[in-house]
Amino acid sequence: MSNKSNQRQLRAKNPKKTLVRLFSYFKYNKMMFFSGIFFIMFSSVAQIGVNAMLSPIIDTLVGDHNRGLFIKYLIYMGILVIAVTISEYIGNLLMARLAQKTVHKIRQDMFSHMEKLPISFFDTHSHGELMSTFTNDVDILNQALEQSVSQITLSVVTIVGSFVMMLLLSPILTIIVVGMLMIMLLFVKYVGQRSARNFRNQQAALADMNGYIEEMMSGQKVVKVFNYEDRAIDEFSTKNEFLRKSSTEASTFGVMLMPIMGNLSHILYALISIFGSFLVMKDRLSVGNIASYLQYTRSFSRPINQVSNQLNTLFAALAGAERIFNILDEEVEIDEGDIRLVEDKNDKKSYWKVPMKNGEFEMVPLKGYIAFKDVDFGYVEGKQILNDINLYAKPSQKIAFVGSTGAGKTTITNLINRFYEINEGNILYDGIDIKRINKFDLRSTMSIVLQDVHLFEGTIADNIRYGRLDATDEEVKEAAKLANAHYFIKHLPDGYDTWITADGQNLSQGERQLLSIARAAVANPTILILDEATSSVDTRTEKLISEGMDKLMEGRTTFVIAHRLSTVRDSNAIMVLEHGEIIERGDHDDLMKQKGRYYALNTGAIELD
């Protein structure tokens, strides 16, 4: 885990392209963006105006004591201050709204896109990484849009504006300012680079540390059982010391810029005072001029500091945006199937509506006949998992897959509903190649019950209804009864309305399995794919589960990854898989006679006594 985090790209590879694409997200809110920028620019110009008023005000006081003029300037200043306040708020608010809207849209796009990605995407990308893009990267993008854009605009306008004003007030003094500015920029560049590098080191050390903590805390009981505590403490201390060093350094460099820039501007202040006073004495500058000139030098260092800070955020955000766009650019699941499932109004039966060359449609009744013809498959190119699979299942038949881990049992079942695309051969459904069937309709005729039950946050009824969203309460209850789940649900505090937390942690393993059977039952599928559980549930629950499964299988074409002898025994056909090939096939009696692998598996269990 730590290695993966280290490898996370911290700089965008192609910042320009990413930036352009990011701007395309503003297209619905173009007005908002430009008026936001406008108000921010206006407020910074007004702010410069406020400072500019200081000079004539002081001059009227020190010089000719013109009371009327003094009051007039003071009123101007007051108006400008109010203008700054209002336009700053409106500008920032517009940018914040824009940021929220953009991020909201990006989040929604990412989620919708994620839902369309093929299963293979989720196999090859770690969940932690994806989560981090969804949370951290989106968050920093939000921050950049909300603050960086307006801060940088503000700072640049302030710097440029102050500079122009200074130039107008005294070109000679401005030479000193330019000299100092160079020095400041050198500092910003040096410290900024060091700080960015140290910050990256710190992030890497932190990720490494967090990974270690997560792992050790999750396995803490194992640590105790193996007396591993001292070794864990040693390793922890090493990582901790490394983290301490890198964060100390990162933070030192991060904080250092503030006193440096602040005091450099003080030095500038002193230099301006000295040379300014010379000019005053030679009557080339008024006292009021020098006062406001000094005010400008004060307001100079902060924006420079800020730009360098915000640029860091901006770069981090661009790197994040690039990762976001990488996800959005992932190829979605292909679905070129044009054969739809339709219900005949007269006989209430479902038919595949197959288009023919002459423009007419052929109606093929939905029955549940599945055939594999010379199917080859591999998750990655060049590494074949399944070789030359041939099999067929007639409607309502039960086909069992038996074999050791990694033999390819689960893989076969994942091909039927097109979680993965096969490399060679054909899979036929009621005689139609499944590639030609619309994926939505294909999957709507199938249900899967997996070993590893996944439930969703919501009520028990919601979770059962996941199988068919328009199922009535009555139908939900019926399904639960069929799955033997009704009994335990009734005994829950709120019955069918009991709230399940994320992934059903408050239910036992067995209860979750019963729920997933009910969920499949309510969908009333033509084809059923079952993965019988091996996890340890007590005998009574196990009995309930197997009865539920047996009832569910009745009258449906069923593919089952079998662990129970009883399931296997009454299957119409048993496929024994080894290294991606069907090595034995037939019903129980055939296979027992063959005295092959199936026979060995069977007798192995009884061999003990």
Partner 1 sequence: MKKVIHLMEKYKIYAILSPILMILEVVTDIVIPYLMSRIVDIGIANRDIDYIVKVGLLMVLSAVFGMVFGVLSAYCGARAGYGFAAELRNETFKRVQNFSFANLDNFTVSSLITRLTNDCNTIGQVTMMSLRMAIRAPFLLLFALIMAFKINSSLAKVFLIAIPTTVIIMFIGLKKARPLFLKLQTRIDRVNAIIQENLTGIRVVKSFNRQKHEEGRFEERNDALRDLALEAISIALLVSPILNLIIYSTIISILWFGGQQVVIGSLGGGELISFISYIMQVMMAIMLLSMFFMQFLRGSASMQRILEILNTESEIKEKSNPIKELKDGSISFDNVSFIYLKSNEKTLKNINFKVNSGEILGIIGSTGSSKSTLVQLIPRLYDATDGSVTVGGADVRDYDIKSLRDQVAFVLQKNTLFSGTIRENMKWGNENATDEEIIAALKHAQAWEFVSQYEDGLEHRVEQGGDNFSGGQKQRLTIARALLKSPKVIILDDSTSAVDMATDAQIQRAFKENLGDVTTIIIAQRIASIQHANRVIVLHEGEIEAIGNHEELMKSSPVYREIYESQQKGVIGE
563 is an interface residue for partner 1 by CB under 8 A: yes
On whether the CB atoms of residues 562 and 401 are closer than 8 A, the answer is yes
Least distance to partner 1, CB of residue 15, Å: 26
Compare residues 227 and 358 and give the one whose CB is closer to partner 1: 227
Compare residues 249 and 587 and give the one whose CB is closer to partner 1: 249
On whether the CB atoms of residues 170 and 287 are closer than 8 A, the answer is no
Query: CB under 8 Å to 296, separation ≥6 — which residues?
Result: 51, 162, 165, 166, 169
Least distance to partner 1, CB of residue 437, Å: 13
Stretch near partner 1 under the rule CB under 8 A, chosen from 28-36, 368-376, 428-436, 564-572: 564-572
Compare residues 312 and 444 and give the one whose CB is closer to partner 1: 444
443 is an interface residue for partner 1 by CB under 8 A: yes
Binding residues for partner 1 restricted to 160-199, rule: CB under 8 A: none
DSSP calls for 330-361: SPPPP----BEEEE-TTT--EEEEEE-TTS-E
Stretch near partner 1 under the rule CB under 8 A, chosen from 11-19, 355-363, 489-497, 563-571: 563-571
Among 37, 50, 160, 492, binds partner 1 (CB under 8 A): 50
For residue 507, the SS3 value is coil
Binding-site string for partner 1 from residue 285 to residue 324, where x marks contact by CB under 8 A and - marks none? --xx-xx--x---x--------------------------
Compare residues 220 and 390 and give the one whose CB is closer to partner 1: 220
Report residue 26 as tokens.
Answer: 């503003």
- Scored b (16 or more CB within 10 A) or e, 405-422 reads eebbbebbbbbbbbbbeb
594 is an interface residue for partner 1 by CB under 8 A: no
> In whole angstroms, what is the distance from residue 10 CA to residue 127 CA?
19
Binding-site string for partner 1 from residue 92 to residue 111, where x marks contact by CB under 8 A and - marks none? xx--xx--xx-xx--xx--x
Stretch near partner 1 under the rule CB under 8 A, chosen from 376-384, 487-495, 550-558, 565-573: 565-573
Among 68, 171, 259, 493, binds partner 1 (CB under 8 A): 259
Compare residues 22 and 574 and give the one whose CB is closer to partner 1: 574
Number of Cβ within a 10 Å radius of residue 510: 20
Compare residues 12 and 132 and give the one whose CB is closer to partner 1: 132
Among 365, 406, 431, 555, binds partner 1 (CB under 8 A): 406
217 is an interface residue for partner 1 by CB under 8 A: yes
342 is an interface residue for partner 1 by CB under 8 A: no
412 is an interface residue for partner 1 by CB under 8 A: no
Q: How many angstroms separate the Cα of 579 from the Cα of each of 388, 404, 454?
A: 12, 9, 28
Q: How many angstroms separate the Cα of 255 from the Cα of each of 234, 265, 381?
A: 31, 17, 51
For the chain, first and last CA: distance in Å? 46
341 is an interface residue for partner 1 by CB under 8 A: no
For residue 72, the SS3 value is helix
Q: How many angstroms separate the Cα of 441 from the Cα of each of 113, 370, 433, 446, 464?
A: 20, 15, 13, 9, 20
Among 68, 124, 357, 608, binds partner 1 (CB under 8 A): 608
Compare residues 156 and 260 and give the one whose CB is closer to partner 1: 260
Among 5, 6, 120, 210, binds partner 1 (CB under 8 A): 210
> In whole angstroms, what is the distance from residue 300 CA to residue 294 CA?
10
403 is an interface residue for partner 1 by CB under 8 A: yes
Among 9, 193, 248, 326, binds partner 1 (CB under 8 A): 248
Stretch near partner 1 under the rule CB under 8 A, chosen from 50-58, 357-365, 372-380, 550-558: 50-58
DSSP calls for 146-191: IIIHHHHHHHHHHHHHHHHHHHHH-HHHHHHHHHHHHHHHHHHHHH
Round the CA-based radius of gyration of the chain to a whole number and report it.
Answer: 36
Binding residues for partner 1 restricted to 62-81, rule: CB under 8 A: 62, 65, 70, 74, 77-78, 81
> In whole angstroms, what is the distance from residue 560 CA to residue 530 CA?
5
- Residue (of 120, 36, 42, 190) closest to 414 by Cα position: 120
- Residue (of 215, 239, 246) closest to 1 by Cα position: 215
332 is an interface residue for partner 1 by CB under 8 A: no
Compare residues 12 and 391 and give the one whose CB is closer to partner 1: 391
Compare residues 12 and 526 and give the one whose CB is closer to partner 1: 526
Number of Cβ within a 10 Å radius of residue 270: 11
Query: CB under 8 Å to 20, separation ≥6 — which residues?
Result: none
Count of residues near partner 1 by CB under 8 A: 153
For residue 305, the SS3 value is helix
For residue 312, how far is the Cα from the chain centroid? 22
Q: What is the DSSP letter of 608?
A: T
Binding residues for partner 1 restricted to 515-544, rule: CB under 8 A: 519, 523, 534-543
Least distance to partner 1, CB of residue 568, Å: 6
Binding residues for partner 1 restricted to 488-507, rule: CB under 8 A: 502-503
The dihedrals phi and psi of 12, each to the nearest 5 degrees, come to -70, 140
Q: What type of residue sits at position 41? A: M
Binding residues for partner 1 restricted to 224-243, rule: CB under 8 A: 224-233, 236-237, 240-241, 243
For residue 587, how far is the Cα from the chain centroid? 47
Binding residues for partner 1 restricted to 449-478, rule: CB under 8 A: 450, 454, 456-457, 466-467, 469
Binding residues for partner 1 restricted to 126-165, rule: CB under 8 A: 127, 130-131, 134-135, 146
Compare residues 174 and 571 and give the one whose CB is closer to partner 1: 571
Compare residues 178 and 255 and give the one whose CB is closer to partner 1: 255
Binding residues for partner 1 restricted to 266-285, rule: CB under 8 A: 266-267, 269-271, 273-274, 277-278, 280-281
Report residue 417 as tokens.
Answer: 């509903």
Least distance to partner 1, CB of residue 255, Å: 4
Among 21, 564, 579, 585, binds partner 1 (CB under 8 A): 564
78-81-86-89 Cα dihedral, nearest 10 degrees = -160
